[in-house]
Chain A
């Protein structure tokens, strides 16, 4: 399961049935309306929606509202998962890059929404002409997370990177945006833990400050992540985004890393 697709898919704006530009008042109104629609004894569900589906939706609604009703959380969410100016369709290909670079454009169809549950196992997102097993395809599809793919063409790189990075970060950029894969002498662990991230970060000579500046994740969170001090971290969707970003920066197999660490995260939180 591709965790990134999974994340992008759980679009809180869609859950709340509002536009990404919606005001707080619109969000609240829509939330209240949906609470009624999916509430106890709602006639509109009769014979079509089962209780389990209803409850699933209600919990999603609560999470979505919790995030979007808080300006700070909403901003982080927008930056990490939902960027209207950068994304062309739901699968999030940077518009300019996709036009310039892709020889075979990814046909992105978002989804036919019916009742799918973003926390369930199956992926509804499909991109028929894309082979997700190849690294290139992944970087195309997940362009929002991956500036390194644009670094292949220097022109594109100079266009896109300054919007994110400050001059101080030049050295980091070079370190992080090389096209080379992870050196083979690095032995990958079977199951990823926070300490492994630290280990690989240090092996590649990236300081926590550099990582923080580049990913825009606060140092506090990065420390907490590496030391698996999960209680200091925000809600799961954010953590998932953090792990993915960090792992991709470090050229780690980010799907595996994210899955493993999120499993540890949810276990710890539950206990």
Chain B
């Protein structure tokens, strides 16, 4: 719980900083590039809490995509807690994002470490540099602008726990944002906190909604003096104070469509929780969560972690492996881009 609280307070402080942080405007431009350059697609995996399977899902989604012939780069954005390379069974890469931030390598492509798996590369998080978790806005902007130069069909972002703005922004930037939740109160609490944070952050960043930013800011602070406690309250306040913005807000809210994976499922009741979360999110936030699949609780998973081998390679026939492949195919079919055959 201590961890949870500290995350929470950090979010509140961050909110203030972000409000004063004008670099958000620059960031907005960068947000849009993925809409224009559809050649590659970014999938981000978050979830708010540690240990909910973000790295497991990231590494195996990346693997699954790569095995289908896509050029995939897995990017470890859990700065300060990077271990995606371990999940993928490779040693600590020599070049990491630290080198990129400190200008030791000019290009993000130079940070890519190849793996033994064809088509799959990895950009490791900043492993060693102390304090690298506190990215400056400039560093973040630099990373976001260079990400589009990476040569790949799919980028898989493995995000860190918590709801700091870097994590939220990487999630928002992605074409497909996936959050992982366990059927446990702690995970659900942090999962909702994560959704809530990305939700408000995305509305706040949206240039179309600039006029109602003060109201969104109020909504981000649970103790605001305008009595905006829920997204519904925000919507009412917007309609009361800026009736012309109601439609825009509604449209922008509908664009928020996170994907949900429920991990460590033990019973059928656990499976149902995904549908319940979907329904609750619709009621509370007004957003459509797509419940893209669930992963069984499976002892093969910890064995693969101990062996430092990717699950999909070590136990290709396990239920979790087939579930991950099914989820990959579903997302590809529903949200994946068409590869540019002219390149």
Contact = CB atoms under 8 A, between A and B. Distances in A.
Interface of A: 17, 33-34, 36-38, 42-49, 57, 107, 109, 111-116, 122, 124, 126, 128
A112 B282 CA distance: 9
Looking at chain A's contact residues, the main secondary structure is loop
A121 to B, nearest CB: 11
Contact of B282 (A113, A124, A128): A113
Given A36-B272, A109-B246, 15 more contacts: A17-B282, A33-B272, A38-B276, A42-B276, A43-B184, A47-B189, A47-B193, A48-B284, A57-B283, A107-B247, A114-B232, A114-B283, A114-B285, A114-B286, A122-B236
Contacts of B189: 46-47
Contact of A115 (B239, B272, B277, B283): B283
24 contacts: A33-B275, A33-B276, A33-B279, A34-B279, A36-B276, A37-B272, A37-B276, A43-B184, A44-B279, A47-B185, A47-B189, A57-B283, A107-B247, A109-B246, A112-B235, A113-B232, A113-B283, A114-B231, A114-B235, A114-B283, A115-B230, A115-B232, A122-B236, A128-B247
Give me the 4 closest cross-chain CB pairs, A-B, nearest first: A44-B276, A114-B232, A37-B276, A47-B189
Nearest to A126: B239
Interface in B175-227: 183-185, 188-189, 192-193
A114 to B, nearest CB: 3
Identify the interface centre among B232, B246, B283: most chain A CB within 10 Å of its CB. B283
A111 B253 CA distance: 11
Given A114-B232, A114-B235, A109 B192 contact: no
A115 B246 contact: no
Nearest to A34: B279
B246 A128 contact: yes
Given A34-B279, A115-B283, A128-B246, A43 B235 contact: no
Nearest to A125: B239
Contact of B273 (A44, A57, A109, A114): A44
Interface residues of B, number: 32
A114 B284 contact: yes
Contacts of A122: 236
Contacts of A46: 185, 188-189, 192
Interface string B238-270: 010001101101100100000000000000000
B135 to A, nearest CB: 28
Interface of B: 183-185, 188-189, 192-193, 230-232, 235-236, 239, 243-244, 246-247, 249-250, 253, 272-273, 275-277, 279-280, 282-286
B80 to A, nearest CB: 26
A42 B273 CA distance: 8
Contact of A112 (B184, B232, B243, B276): B232
A151 to B, nearest CB: 31
A112 B286 contact: yes
Given A33-B272, A114-B230, A115-B232, A44 B280 contact: yes
Nearest to B233: A114
Nearest to A117: B232
B192 A43 contact: no
A60 to B, nearest CB: 11
Given A37-B280, A42-B276, A57-B283, A47 B188 contact: yes
Contacts of A114: 230-232, 235, 283-286
A244 B245 CA distance: 31
A124 B236 CA distance: 6
A33 B249 CA distance: 29
Contacts of B249: 112
Contacts of B282: 17, 113
Contacts of A57: 283
A47 B279 contact: no
B284 A49 contact: yes
Nearest to A33: B275
